[in-house]
Amino acid sequence: MSMHICIYEDSGCNNLLPMTYVRPVYDLFCGMVSLQEKLIRNFPQASITLHTRSVLEKVVRDRYPDCLVNEFPAGLEEILFINGRSLLNSKTELNKLGKNQSFIINDTVVAARLSGAELTIPIETVQNGITIDLDETAIERQKVDGILVEYIWDLIQANGDQIRSDFTFAIQGRGDAVIDDGTIINDENVFIDKTAKIMPHVVVDGSNGPVFIDRDVVIQPHVYVQGPVYIGPSVLIKAGAQIYSGSSIAEGCKIGGEVNNSIILPWSNKAHGGYLGSSYVGSWVNIGAGTNNSNLKNNYGAVKVTVDGEAIDTGLQFMGLIMGDHSKCGINTTFNTGTSIGINCNLYGSVIHEKHIPSFTWGSAVGGYTTYKLEKALSVNKIVMSRRKKSLKRNDEELLRNVFQLTTG
């Protein structure tokens, strides 16, 4: 019988808000794919259970109709549990796990092969949609190489290296790249899908790391792309844009201006001039023309970010903006280093915003902030999605209503 794997969420998902309000931790994007896709590709034959918090269960079932969600096939004698926020280095190590053995990173269990009596509590926890803690399980532990993602900035920091490692998987069996009229530097490090349209006077520079340009991408003239960079399916890069190292732009985004070491999730727009650096942007976000974020303090000191109500010292000199799904900002909006914005915010104004803005906030630093009315926010979400021939599914809407109650109540 082939391996059964359970990719699970632990309590660490709370430190990855606002991104984990609307997705399980393993759906976070880093490099060229989600954390879940990295974990699963090493086990092509395995059957999979996705475990998530009960509030997300319906949404995860919608997204993964072929996976079991918070349930297991009957009669399993053994399950390989993998922590959904782990970036592990190689597949062979997980295959080496013996019965009731585990791997740890920073004293936290990231993978455990459990059988027999050890399965009872984890199986019940999964079925109840509660986050799992395997640290208390009496199993043999050994340290393993990799990253356990604790905060959103860990994903930003890891992104360049993840593009490098994902690139080698992604080019397998994809055929030869087609090179249009652009200028390619270090072409062995560059893959351009044959359906992509690269207009004249585009420079794609693979000398610092790989560049992967996915299907149906359009890159207009006078664009510079400096690897490691991933440009996802159907992305439009507008004329004159600069996309610098460590940036991943997921499916369907429209991008202009300057983007540096940032991750932008599907269907978001930063279509005009302005700077986005060291940042993580959710889906269905719209960033107005001339918007800029700082990613370096004037005193070059370490940046603090508010997470779950607490100011955390990132220890990083470069840290920009975290912007949750469905949030929007008007023209010439200005964000400070280490600003965290929740989901469904509507912000405007060129005076620097507060560094922590809760979900469903409307307003500016000058006029003040108020609660974004729920029905109005949902109505805007639906209009935005319909422009891309998408709709807000019933379970996604219910989830957004839950987040509204949770964050404004």
Instruction: For residue 8, give the CATH number of its domain.
Output: 3.90.550.10
Distances in Å between the Cα of 84 and the Cα atoms of 68, 111, 213 are 15, 9, 27
Which of 116, 150, 184 is the last residue in one of the domains?
A: 150
Phi, psi of 119 (to 5 degrees): -80, -20
Instruction: Show Cβ contacts of residue 141 under 8 Å, excluding neighbours closer than 6 positions.
Output: 101, 102, 103, 104, 109
**pLDDT recorded at residue 98:** 86
Instruction: Judge contact between 88 and 94, C-beta under 8 A.
Output: yes
- State how far the Cα of 69 lies from the Cα of 250, in Å rounded to an integer: 25
* Residue 228 burial (CB count, 10 A): 28
What is the radius of gyration, based on Cα positions, of the chain? 21
Burial of 20 from C-beta contacts in 10 A (0-12 / 13-18 / 19+): buried
Instruction: Judge contact between 243 and 261, C-beta under 8 A.
Output: no
Same domain, 204 and 179: yes
Instruction: Judge contact between 39 and 26, C-beta under 8 A.
Output: yes
> Looking at the chain, how many residues does it have?
409
- The residues of the chain scoring below 70 in pLDDT are 1-2, 90-92, 138, 176-182, 409
* Residue 387 burial (CB count, 10 A): 8
Instruction: Judge contact between 275 and 293, C-beta under 8 A.
Output: yes
- State how far the Cα of 37 lies from the Cα of 81, in Å rounded to an integer: 15
Q: Which domain holds residue 104?
A: 4-150
Same domain, 17 and 85: yes
Instruction: Judge contact between 177 and 197, C-beta under 8 A.
Output: no
| pLDDT single digits (tens) 81-103 | 999 999 987 655 787 888 888 99
Which of 150, 171, 193 is the last residue in one of the domains?
A: 150
Query: Tokens 């803690």 identify what position?
Result: 133
Same domain, 177 and 141: no
Instruction: Show Cβ contacts of residue 390 under 8 Å, excluding neighbours closer than 6 positions.
Output: 267
Which of 100, 121, 150 is the last residue in one of the domains?
A: 150
- State how far the Cα of 299 lies from the Cα of 279, in Å rounded to an integer: 20
Helix 374-386 × helix 394-408 angle, to 10° = 140
Same domain, 222 and 352: yes
Instruction: Judge contact between 320 and 271, C-beta under 8 A.
Output: no
Same domain, 77 and 89: yes
**pLDDT recorded at residue 94:** 81
H-assigned helices in 41-151: 57-63, 91-95, 120-127
- State how far the Cα of 9 lies from the Cα of 142, in Å rounded to an integer: 21
Same domain, 317 and 187: yes
Same domain, 131 and 168: no
Same domain, 325 and 350: yes
DSSP annotation of 105: E
Q: Quick check: bond before 266 cis, omega within 30?
A: no
Both tokens assigned to 279: 């940042």
**pLDDT recorded at residue 182:** 67
Burial of 150 from C-beta contacts in 10 A (0-12 / 13-18 / 19+): middle
- State how far the Cα of 273 lies from the Cα of 263, in Å rounded to an integer: 17
**pLDDT recorded at residue 185:** 83
Phi, psi of 185 (to 5 degrees): -110, 130
- State how far the Cα of 213 lies from the Cα of 235, in Å rounded to an integer: 9
Q: How many domains does the chain have?
A: 2
Same domain, 131 and 164: no
Same domain, 390 and 248: yes
Nearest to 101 by CA among 117, 84, 115: 115
Distances in Å between the Cα of 370 and the Cα atoms of 140, 221, 358, 362, 373 are 51, 42, 10, 5, 9
Same domain, 118 and 248: no
**pLDDT recorded at residue 409:** 64
Give the CATH number of the domain where residue 388 resides.
Answer: 2.160.10.10
- State how far the Cα of 84 lies from the Cα of 212, in Å rounded to an integer: 25
Same domain, 169 and 285: yes
**pLDDT recorded at residue 270:** 98
- State how far the Cα of 370 lies from the Cα of 407, in Å rounded to an integer: 13
